[in-house]
Structure 1
Amino acid sequence: MADAAHRIFELAEHALSRPLPLRVRAWDGSEAGPAGAPVLVLRRRRALRRLLWRPGELGLTRAWVAGDLTVEGDLYEALDRLSGLLWERGEPDPAPGGGTVGAARRLAEVLRDPGSYRLAREALALAGPGLPPSPPPEEVRRRAGIAHSRRRDKAAIAHHYDVGNDFYGLVLGPSMVYSCAVWPEKDTTLEEAQRAKLDLVCRKLSLREGQRLLDVGCGWGSMVMHAAEHYGVRATGITLSVEQAAFARKRVAEAGLAGRIEIRVQDYRDVADGPYDAISSIGMAEHVGTERYLEYARTLYDLLLPGGRLLNHQIARRPLRDERAYRIDEFIDRYVFPDGELSPVGATVARLEDAGFEVRDVEALREHYGRTLRAWVANLEAHWDEAARATTVGRARVWRLYMAASALSFERNRIGVNQVLAVRTDPDGTSGMPPTRGGWLS
């Protein structure tokens, strides 16, 4: 077993009919593959057993989360090389990180080629005997209730956001904004870029003194605090995360804004104190689900005054030739966003219009999200030990892989993010909107 890496590399080459674009180091210390390439390190034979028992990206990401497998060298380059290999084969990329994590799925399948008896025997001999390893505890395995019911949505949000406020503080920085920033200049800092995004949302909504703002999926309260402090609104923020709400309330009180901001643990479907002058939904609609999206849009429409505006900031996937082929990425679904779904931006616009909105503007911020994610990854890596203590090493590994893979997907135009500005017009069709974009961005 002193040449496990060479045997793994040989299996990969045989199945791919081309060289694997990474170097491989196995648990026995052996290495194979191109010099100078990032190194895929199989630290334990258990990593290979995970891939054999569950070939595909789930087996590989279980190995990654458990620390059985890692990458030495530039993680972005490693993921990009694997992504390029997958895209050369013309496979779809329907989920965040799918091109890169999905490429890892191809590598996992390489290690057990069902069409080759020799390959299967070689892989089994390398993996050694043993039962299927248990999934890492960070994985979601059992879910109760109907997808996107109130109960199940609350559990999904808790899995993603109740990781710990200290952990998110290290990753996101002082702004505590967990959505795409807007980077006006090359030397803009993350904090400045997040303030620029919040201010852009406020200007698009044309917020004014005394208006009522509803922020759906308010996170740690940054949007409502910015709007109340700089635009004089009375703001309500809703979230399903108990930890987020507690943190947001504390921030609001410390800023002296408690009289103008209310933070609730509440489902958007249960808001009953409209109408509002404006609604912001920033990075929340990805949790709604395709089947519930029209209900979401109609609910927000009904909560607005005539002339009221909605700013919907949402990640979008590329459309598929056959939309029935869309599948939620296993890694994302089990470890990151349980029940999360992405839609093409055209479908989002169509559902908003079906609900009665007039869509007035769509702005793509795809490149901005790649830069934002790289800044978050840099924060995580710079505070790795502290971040791991704040949650678990496995959870920190999940976030590092997810954010790095997603950064590349945004940069390679495999997924995007868009701000859609819509208005509930008056019964006579009056929108109250300026005739040009410059009118509401001034």
Structure 2
Amino acid sequence: MIVPDISQDAVAVADHYDELDPIYRRVWGEHVHHGLWETGRETPGEAVEELVDTVGDRLGLLPGQACVDIGCGYGSTARRLAVTRGVHVTGFTLSAEQARHAAVHSMPSVDIYVRDWLGNGLPDASADAAWSIESSEHMVDKPRFFAEAHRVLAPGGRFVICAWLAETDASGWKVRHLLEPICREGRLPSLGMREEYEAMATAAGFAVTGYEDVSRRVARTWPICAVRLVKAMLVDPEIRRLALGTRNRGAILSIPRLILAYRTGAMRYGIFRLSKAGENGR
């Protein structure tokens, strides 16, 4: 597990997203996660939705199911799956700014709360499916992240995690100059490897039913974000001020690091499929 030299907690994560809210919406978009290029011809917007739809497919969502979006951001992913799959979604975010924006675009089948997933307050076995798209990295206690998902899911429930991962046995220079700074600048309490995620999932009671490394298919996200950021800084004084003069400005430095981390293989992007045993134990 890669751990930053300055410890991070939920308060730091919330502050990060609240302060940089205008940049995130302008540069990364309202889904606040990578795009997935299947053919290479998708627009950035299409690629982002492709990742959402892939999560819905891997979960096998059915109309009427109760779902949980762990780290829902602005609620765009929850709303898309609610509309396209007919499910009801309960989402959790640490950011008051994200929740405020989500409330402007609210819909009856999506409920969003400003609450730490590690203290989510949901009843046992109350959800049919759950997903976490690039939020597990922000969890201070990753074993508890998995344990809470297992508790909240009903028997037979499915869980899909899209996660930033560290290369297995990354070399020292990759850790020092890429992975550790990415954790620090992005307010990630830790960055795990595939094997660590699977071990924590199994310890929580899940069966690991699938894993896909889609690093090459998502890596295009960061050059696109870099171009968007430069353009925004040139024309928008507020974006320029946030990028250069705020306490969370280190996140901007992570964009070139992420580009290099993907190109060198230090950073991986994985999609995990997990399941909770059914009533009969299978």
TM-score by length of 1: 0.57
TM-fit CA distance, 1:208: 1.3
Q: Does 1:216 align with 2:65?
A: no
Matched, 1:182 2:36: yes
Name 1:129's counterpart in structure 2.
none
Alignment check: 8 A CA contact 1:361 1:420 kept: yes
Equivalences for residues 385-400 of structure 1 within 5 A: 385-386=234-235, 388-390=237-239, 391-394=241-244, 398-400=250-252
The letter for the 1-side match of 2:53 is: D
Alignment pair present for 1:232 and 2:81: no
Whether the aligned pair in 2 keeps the contact of 1:380 and 1:387 (CA below 8 Å) is: no
Aligned-partner Cα distance in 2 for 1:210–1:386: 45
Deviation of 1:387 after TM superposition, in Å, equals 5.1
Q: Deviations over 1:168-203 (max 9, x none)?
A: 222024xx1222211122221100000111011011
The structure-2 alpha-carbon separation of the partners of 1:270 and 1:387, relative to structure 1 and needing over 3 Å to count, comes to farther
- 1:404 is aligned to 2:253: no
Structure 2 segments unaligned to the other structure (5+ residues): none
* Cα distance between partner residues in 1 of 2:213 and 2:226: 22
Give the SS at the match of 1:392: helix
CA distance in 2, matches of 1:305, 1:170: 38
Q: Deviations over 1:119-155 (max 9, x none)?
A: xxxxxxxxxxxxxxxxxxxxxx8xxxxx67xxx41x2
- Asked whether the 8 Å contact 1:369–1:410 carries over to 2, the reply is no
* Aligned: 1:156 with 2:12: yes
The whole-number CA distance in structure 1 between the counterparts of 2:15 and 2:179 is 17
Q: Is the 8 A contact 1:301 1:355 kept in 2?
A: yes
Question: Residue 280 of structure 2 aligns with which residue?
Answer: 428
Decide which of 287, 299, 305 is 2:138's aligned counterpart.
Answer: 287
Q: Find the partner of 2:127 among 276, 292, 296.
A: 276
Work out whether residues 170 and 387 of structure 1, in 8 Å CA contact, stay in contact via their aligned partners in 2.
Answer: no
Given that 1:213 and 1:276 are in contact with CA atoms closer than 8 Å, whether structure 2 keeps it comes out as yes
SS in structure 2 at match of 1:416: strand
Does structure 2 conserve the Cα–Cα contact (< 8 Å) formed by 1:156 and 1:339? no
Q: How big is the shift at 1:329? A: 5.7
Q: Cα gap change, 1:388/1:157 in structure 2, threshold over 3 Å: closer, same or farther?
A: farther
Shift of 1:422: 0.2
Q: Aligned letter for 1:355? A: A
Q: Deviations over 1:370-411 (max 9, x none)?
A: 201111111111222345513524159644431122012112
Change (3 A) 1:308 1:412: same
Task: Tell me which structure has the larger Cα radius of gyration.
Answer: 1
- State the alpha-carbon separation in 2 of the partners of residues 234 and 428 from structure 1: 26
**Aligned residue for 1:7?**
none
Unaligned runs of 5+ in 1: 1-93, 97-140, 142-146, 431-442
> Per-residue displacement from partner, 1:47-92 (whole Å, max 9, x unpaired)?
xxxxxxxxxxxxxxxxxxxxxxxxxxxxxxxxxxxxxxxxxxxxxx
- 1:382 partnered with 2:234: no
Deviation for aligned residue 1:330:
6.0
Distance (whole Å) between structure 1 residues aligned to residue 99 and residue 55 of structure 2: 21
1:218–1:238 Cα contact (<8 Å) kept: yes
Q: 187, 192, 196: which is aligned to 2:46?
A: 192
Q: Is the 8 A contact 2:182 2:258 kept in 1?
A: no
Which has the higher relative contact order, 1 or 2, with Cα contacts under 8 A spaced 6 or more apart?
Answer: 2
Query: How far, CA to CA, are the matches of 1:429 and 1:415 in structure 2?
Result: 36
CA contact (8 A) 1:183 1:196 kept: yes
Q: Secondary structure of 1:214's partner?
A: strand
Residue 269 of structure 2: SS of its match in structure 1?
A: strand
What percentage of residue pairs aligned between the two structures are identical? 25
Is 2:166–2:179's contact at 8 Å kept on the other side of the alignment? no
Instruction: Calculate the aligned-residue CA RMSD, in Å.
Output: 2.7
The whole-number CA distance in structure 1 between the counterparts of 2:235 and 2:105 is 22
Structure 1 letter corresponding to 2:23: F
Q: Secondary structure at the match of 2:212?
A: strand
Residue-by-residue CA offset, 1:262-307 (whole Å, 9 max, x unaligned)? 1100111222333101011111111124xx2221111110000111
TM-score by length of structure 2 reads 0.87
CA distance in 2, matches of 1:330, 1:206: 35
Aligned residues: 273
Q: Helix, strand or coil for the counterpart of 2:36?
A: coil
- SS in structure 2 of the partner of residue 181 of structure 1: coil
The secondary structure found in structure 1 opposite 2:100 is: helix
SS in 1 for 2:105: helix
What pairs up with 1:33-48 in 2 under 5 angstroms? none
Query: Retained in 1: the 8 A contact 2:183–2:191?
Result: no
Q: After superposition, what is the alpha-carbon deviation per residue over 1:14-35, rounded to whole angstroms, capped at 9, x for unaligned?
A: xxxxxxxxxxxxxxxxxxxxxx
**How far apart, CA to CA, are the structure 2 residues paired with 1:348 and 1:387?**
40
